[in-house]
Structure 1
Amino acid sequence: MTDPRQSDDSRFPDPVYRRTVLAPLFDHARTDHAEGFRRIDRAHLVMLAECGIVEPATAGKIARALQEIDAEVDPGALEYTGEVEDYFFLVEAELKARLGPDTGGWLHTARSRNDIDHTLFKIALKGHLDGMLTQARALLEALIGTAKRESATIIVAYTHGQPAQPTTLGHYLSAAIEVLIRDIERLEAARATCDLCSMGAAAITTSGFPVDRARVAHLLGFAAPQRNSYSCIAAVDYTTGAYSAVELLFLHLGRLIQDLQFWSAFEVGQIYVPNAFVQISSIMPQKRNPVPIEHMRHLSSQTVGRARMMKDIMHNTPFTDMNDSEGESQAAGYSAFASGGRVLDLLAAFMGALKVDGARVEANIRRSCITITELADTLVRREGLSFRQAHEIAAATARDVVARGADLPSGYAAFSAAFEEATARAPELDEAAFREAASPEHFVAVRTRYGGPAPEPMAEALAAYEAALGGFARAASDRTDREAAAAAELDKKFSELLEVR
Structure 2
Amino acid sequence: MTDHSTFPDPVYRDTVLAPLFDHARVDHAHGFRRIDRAHLVMLARTGILPPAVAARIAHALVAIDRDIDPATLVYTGEVEDYFFLREAELKARIGPDDGGRLHTARSRNDIDHTLFKMALKDRLDGLLADARALLHALIETADRERTTLIVAYTHGQPAQPTTFGHYLSAATEVLIRDIARLEAARAVVDLSSMGAAAITTSGFPIDRQLMADLLGFAAPQRNSYSCIAAVDYITATYGAVELLFLHLGRLVQDFQVWSSFEVGQIHVPNAFVQISSIMPQKRNPVPIEHMRHLASQTVGRARMVKDIMHNTPFTDMNDSEGETQSAGYSAFDSGTRVLRLLAAFVPALRIDGDRVAQTTDRACITITELADTLVRREDLSFRQAHEIAAQTARAVVAAGESLGTGGHAPFAAAFRDTMGRAAAMTPDDFATAVSAAHFVAVRDRFGGPGAAAMQDALDTYRAALADFTAAAQTRAQAAADAAATLDAAFDALMETADGDL
Q: TM-score, normalised by structure 1?
A: 0.98
1:32 aligns with 2:19: no
Q: Which residue of 2 aligns with 1:342?
A: 337
Q: Which residue of 1 aligns with 2:308?
A: 313
Q: Which residue of 1 aligns with 2:76?
A: 81
Q: Distance in 2 between matches of 1:303 and 1:356?
A: 29
1:495 aligns with 2:498: no
Q: Secondary structure at the match of 1:165?
A: strand
| Cα deviation 1:147-187 (Å, max 9, x = unaligned) | 00000000000000000000000000100000000000000
1:276 aligns with 2:256: no
2:239 to 233, 239, 244: 244
Amino acid in structure 2 at the alignment position of 1:333: G
Q: Distance in 1 between matches of 2:419 and 2:78?
A: 95
| Cα deviation 1:195-234 (Å, max 9, x = unaligned) | 0000000000000100000000000000000000000000
Q: Distance in 2 between matches of 1:417 and 1:14?
A: 89
1:479 to 475, 481, 484: 475
Q: Which residue of 1 aligns with 2:463?
A: 467
Amino acid in structure 2 at the alignment position of 1:487: A
Q: Secondary structure at the match of 1:139?
A: helix
Q: Distance in 1 between matches of 2:221 and 2:4?
A: 43
1:199 aligns with 2:194: yes
Shift of 1:9: 6.8
TM alignment of 1:144-159, pairs within 5 A: 144-159=139-154
Q: Distance in 1 between matches of 2:316 and 2:357?
A: 61
Q: Which residue of 1 aligns with 2:60?
A: 65
Amino acid in structure 2 at the alignment position of 1:284: M
Q: Distance in 1 between matches of 2:324 and 2:423?
A: 71
| Cα deviation 1:117-155 (Å, max 9, x = unaligned) | 000000000011111000000000000010000000000
1:400 aligns with 2:375: no
Q: Which residue of 1 aligns with 2:375?
A: 380
Amino acid in structure 2 at the alignment position of 1:471: D
Q: Which residue of 1 aligns with 2:292?
A: 297
Q: Distance in 2 between matches of 1:420 and 1:22?
A: 84
Shift of 1:421: 1.3
Q: For the structure 1 residues 463 and 9, does the alpha-carbon distance in structure 2 shift closer, same or farther, using more than 3 Å as the test?
A: closer
Q: Secondary structure at the match of 2:63?
A: helix
Amino acid in structure 2 at the alignment position of 1:448: D
Q: Secondary structure at the match of 1:164?
A: strand
Q: For the structure 1 residues 66 and 417, does the alpha-carbon distance in structure 2 shift closer, same or farther, using more than 3 Å as the test?
A: same
Q: Which residue of 1 aligns with 2:102?
A: 107
Q: Distance in 1 between matches of 2:466 and 2:349?
A: 24
Unaligned 5+ runs, structure 1:
1-7
Shift of 1:349: 0.3
Q: Secondary structure at the match of 2:21?
A: helix
* Segment drifting more, 423-432 vs 437-446: 423-432
1:51 to 42, 46, 50: 46
Amino acid in structure 2 at the alignment position of 1:418: A
Q: Which residue of 1 aligns with 2:415?
A: 419
Q: Which residue of 1 aligns with 2:120?
A: 125
Q: Identity, % of aligned pairs?
A: 73
Q: Which residue of 2 aligns with 1:356?
A: 351
Amino acid in structure 2 at the alignment position of 1:184: I
RMSD: 0.7
Shift of 1:47: 0.5
Paired residues in the alignment total 494
Amino acid in structure 2 at the alignment position of 1:381: R
Q: Distance in 2 between matches of 1:212 and 1:174?
A: 48
Q: TM-score, normalised by structure 2?
A: 0.98
Q: Distance in 1 between matches of 2:15 and 2:408?
A: 78
1:226 to 218, 221, 227: 221
Shift of 1:86: 0.4
Moved over 2 A (4+): none
Q: Distance in 1 between matches of 2:226 and 2:103?
A: 21
2:18 to 4, 14, 23: 23
1:235 to 230, 236, 239: 230
Q: Distance in 2 between matches of 1:397 and 1:26?
A: 73
Shift of 1:425: 1.2
Shift of 1:423: 1.1
Shift of 1:424: 1.3
Amino acid in structure 2 at the alignment position of 1:211: I
